[in-house]
Amino acid sequence: MWKQGIAGMAAALVLAACTATKPQSPSEWQAQRDWKVFEASGRLSVKVKGTGSYANFDWTRENGVETIDVNTPIGTTVGQLCQDAEGVLAVDAKGKTYHADTAADLSRQLLGYALPVQYLGVWANGEWAKDLPHQLLADGTLQQAGWRIRRSLREDGSPYTLLLENNDMSVRMVFSESRREAGLPETQGRCEARG
């Protein structure tokens, strides 16, 4: 009896590992739209000059507030990035808060390099950022803001991977789940860490 249970679990794991994905074609990229809600979770890796690090993430955007929690593999939050109409802030595992006008400025201040955090949600949704020049390549790669951006999609069109590369670094996000709802925010929220 236990052998059947193990065989069933193994089959389920194999099926889950074989999630059908496809690269995004050039025609699937769209102009930036308004999203009332965006929620996602998954794994994140950053590689800079041959050195890499990884973490899990929980990401929400609602009421004009975008929050990304960076977690250890066991779920402990080690940092939070939050952006609202007042700017962007980060809170580390010890509760210390860092402020900046833009996400790029904050990542440069904390990490020594500028991550394109302000565009991640746009690119994750298969869109190019408005008001910035962009180019679509035949292989489905979007080039924008100094980055080469590629996505792979699940059969239902939701993001599976988002890969960003430039000459110095790469960022890879693997989405375990995501949800979005079109429209404008009903109210303008504020980052919880602002008090």
**What percent of the chain has pLDDT above 70?**
90
Q: Is residue 193 part of a domain?
A: no
pLDDT tens digit sequence for 122-154: 999 999 999 899 999 999 999 999 999 999 999
Dihedral of CA 137/142/144/149: which sign?
negative
Number of domains in the chain: 1
Let me know if residue 129 belongs to a domain: yes
Q: Percent of the chain beyond pLDDT 90? A: 56
* Residue 42: inside a domain: yes
Q: What is the CATH number of the domain that holds 58?
A: 2.50.20.10
Structural domain includes residue 184: yes
Write the pLDDT tens digit of every residue in 21-55. Answer: 777 788 889 999 988 899 999 999 999 988 888 99
Look at residue 134 and tell me if it is in a domain: yes
* Contact criterion met (CB below 8 Å) for 97 and 82: no
> Per-residue pLDDT tens for 91-121?
988 999 999 988 888 888 887 788 888 899 9
- In-domain check, residue 16: no
Predicted local confidence at residue 55, as pLDDT: 92
The mean pLDDT of 9-25, rounded to a whole number, is 53
Distances (CA, A) of 24 to 125, 127, 151, 152, 158: 11, 11, 6, 6, 11
Q: Write out the E strands in 20-146.
A: 21-23, 30-31, 35-48, 51-62, 65-71, 77-84, 87-92, 97-100, 127-128, 134-136, 142-144
**Domain interval for residue 180:** 30-188
- Is 6 within the bounds of a domain? no
Using CA atoms, how far apart are residues 83 and 150, in angstroms rounded to an integer? Answer: 24
Q: Residues near 1 by Cβ (< 8 Å), separated by ≥ 6?
A: none
d(CA 71, CA 73): 7
pLDDT digits (tens, 9 = 90+) for 75-93: 888 999 999 999 999 998 8
Inside any domain, residue 181: yes
> Whole-model pTM?
0.83
